[in-house]
Amino acid sequence: MEKLIIAPSVLAADFANLAQETQMLNESAAAWIHIDVMDGVFVPNISFGFPVLEAIAKHTTKFLDCHLMIEKPERYISQFAASGANMITVHAEACPHLHRTIQQIKAEGCLAGVALNPGTPVSVLEDVIGDLDLALIMSVNPGFGGQKFIPNSVRKTTQLKALIDSTGKDIYLEIDGGVNQINAGALIHAGANVLVAGSFVFASADPKATIQELMTLA
């Protein structure tokens, strides 16, 4: 497993210049591109769906890390896979049959991830962790980019790292929300190996340099 992966979130990109933004990410040190899908039901915001994912997939060879903030995501797994998703991460809070949904993602040939809201304990993952390729800790309440990092996320990262280590498997530990150069070091130290960064990357004067800067914190 790579030491550290940066996954810039295109939620913070300029949607009117998506081709240039994707090209910038292609040239960057980011190994993954983070795709935030919101349905206006699970979270109080609507972002974008299949056409945007397909458009990005057409212009990149980077790994597409799809974060589904939608109710009952099992209805759309095959369509996300067909649209170019490599990783599909669903929310534990949105899945009444979480184990079945994880198996469904794998059956579509994608890697499977589960995300936890700030108010959801790491223990929710105990009975599925061995089936996962990735576990994601939300370090803000999902729905919007540009929010302030919740400090308790570092403690949760330590707990999740211990749970992952107990499986003896290589499972990505991803942090999403308010990540910047101030909190990234503590998250990496606690065991995170995938950092999502939206506004910190896209609002910076030189996004490629900012991605590189985050990489050097590992």
Q: Which of 64, 150, 179, 188 binds ligand DX5 (CB under 6 A)?
A: 179
Q: Which of 198, 210, 211, 215 binds ligand DX5 (CB under 6 A)?
A: 198
**Rounded CA gap, 162 and 13, in Å?**
34
Interaction of residue 156 with Zn ion, rule CB under 5 A: no
Report the residue number, 60 or 130, with the smaller CB distance to Zn ion: 60
Select from 123, 193, 179 the least CA-distant residue to 150: 179
In this structure, what are the phi and psi dihedrals at residue 134, rounded to the nearest 5 degrees?
A: -155, 145
Report the residue number, 141 or 159, with the smaller CB distance to Zn ion: 141
Of these partners, Zn ion, ligand DX5, none, which one is at the site of residue 214 (CB under 5 to 8 Å by kind)?
none
Tell me which of 14, 36, 127, 165 is the catalytic residue: 36
Task: Tell me the sheet residues that pair with 9.
Answer: 34
Q: Which of 24, 132, 196, 215 binds ligand DX5 (CB under 6 A)?
A: 196
**Rounded CA gap, 205 and 193, in Å?**
25
What angle (nearest 5°) sits at the alpha carbon of residue 103, between those of residues 97 and 108?
A: 125
176 a catalytic residue: yes
Interaction of residue 207 with ligand DX5, rule CB under 6 A: no
**Rounded CA gap, 149 and 179, in Å?**
7
Report the residue number, 34 or 156, with the smaller CB distance to ligand DX5: 34
Q: Where do contacts with ligand DX5 occur on this chain (CB under 6 A)?
A: 9, 11-12, 34, 36, 67, 140, 142-147, 176-179, 196-200
Q: Where do contacts with Zn ion occur on this chain (CB under 5 A)?
A: 36, 67, 176
